[in-house]
Amino acid sequence: MNERRERRPSRPERGRPGPRKEGPSRPPQVDPARQVAFDVLRAVREKDAYANLVLPELLRNRRITGRDAALATELTYGTSRAIGMLDAVIGACLVDRSLDKVDALVLDGLRLGAYQLLRTRIPEHAAVGSTVDLVRAEVGSWIAGFVNAVLRSVSEKDEQTWLDELAPDEAVDPIGAYALRTAHPRWVARSFAEALGDKGAELKAALEADDKRPDVHLVARPGEISADELAAITGGDVAPYSPYGVRMPAGSGDPGDVEPVKEKLAAVQDEGSQLCAVAVTKVPLTGSDERWLDLCAGPGGKAALLGALASISGATVDAVEKAPHRAKLIENAVRGLPVTIHVADGRETGLEPGYDRVLVDAPCSGLGSLRRRPESRWRRQPSDISDLTKLQGQLITAALDLVRPGGIVTYVVCSPHLAETEGVVGETARRAGVEVVDAREFFPGVPQLGDGPYVQLWPHRHGTDAMFCAVLRKPDSAG
């Protein structure tokens, strides 16, 4: 390998005929599935894109279906999820440089190749050869020897052997050990440990569950189709906890192609989100129960479920969303339901107070949905939390101003981080002088909900995203 030439910047070389003529005369043989995975990884890195949005679009535009689509999906999500672990292994295979000195495009390719070697059954020659061809086509022939050498080094050991060599001793540093072994940033693993109150077996189980590709969860629209009917049509299983849920195995294909989803009789929604939305409607009220509010409604999943339940009970829903493009998504999700959309900041809506029920599905770190948005674990930073908790407290306060005396505010985030859950709720409730209602009774049949008064769902306990739910009741004016 010519070290001097390998160090040349890749991007100026792209598109120039000279470097592409160097090296082997055989042209790169890049298969469509790996090209899609590579392009998604690049979009996530360069444009802060979301893999679960970019991937389906590329598959449709390039007309990739069947086994190729399944391979592209596995490589995209798997590589995105495992970046921390892959980087540790790749870094150990670099002889004369650090990981941050490797060109970003080349590193995308190395990660994709290393994932195939360590976490799939793809033969070594196919994983290495296809990755070399892919990077060579994107960067230039001069890089082929470097990529080949690194991946050959990766292939010398399996994942378990690499981790035994690179991970901290579990007895000394369990959080660090479990974080690397399950491809999580240390700070995320620590936040899980603090929420669980455990650094041992349960933390390990939680992180391992979070490192697996999740099942597809569907929600049947109440009043239109039952969960039993939806399960029969899709071949899925009725969900264990949500009365409207259906679970389908990971890899079942694009859920958007399911006929009930196309017909708006069902939608894709994690069972934990369903349970939290249903809980909003289950808290008993004295007096009126006609005006409901979803204060942070985009992209519309919970608003649609609330709207369907409101339609059955005779209530109406106001849905607030600050971003116009997300308001359009809500509009599409709630069509035909008694839901009115308002484009406004949830902290200053201008709406008339007096709501009976308010849902605050607040912006959060999303640490509870890392299974479904695998790149998010590497995108979020600990410094994000303080700004989020400030916003969350402001939204809860705004909701308490909008709810009537005796009404309820349900606070939901997709995170187990204590600052975003018990911390912000406890402090805001104390300042406002409101009652924290035990939320567990509004999750009937759901096991392992802890000591209350809050509900924290977990992938390893419930097979759902790590959703948090708190219920606050505004004091009656007579009290």
Two tokens, residue 381:
């930073």
Closest listed residue to residue 423, CA positions, set 464, 465, 454? 454
Catalytic residues, which ones? 414
Give the distance between the most distant pair of CA atoms in the chain.
Answer: 86
Question: CA–CA separation, 479 vs 472, rounded Å?
Answer: 15
HEC profile for the chain? CCHHHHCCCCHHHCCCHHHHCCCCCCCCCCCHHHHHHHHHHHHHHHHCCCHHHHHHHHHHHCCCCHHHHHHHHHHHHHHHHCHHHHHHHHHHCCCCCCHHHCCHHHHHHHHHHHHHHHHCCCCHHHHHHHHHHHHHHHHCHHHHHHHHHHHHHHCCCCHHHHHHHHCCCCCCCHHHHHHHHCCCCHHHHHHHHHHHCCCCHHHHHHHHHHCCCCCEEEEECCCCCCHHHHHHHHCCEECCCCCCEEEECCCCCCHHHCHHHHCCCEEECCHHHHHHHHHHHHCCCCCCCCEEEECCCCCCHHHHHHHHHHHHHCCEEEEEECCHHHHHHHHHHCCCCCEEEEECECCECCCCCCEEEEEEECCCCCHHHCCCCCCHHHHCCCCHHHHHHHHHHHHHHHHHHHEEEEEEEEEEECCCCCHHHHHHHHHHHHHHCCEEECHHHHCCCCCCCCCCCCEECCHHHHCCCCCEEEEEECCCCCC
Other CB atoms within a 10 A radius of the CB of residue 375 amount to 23
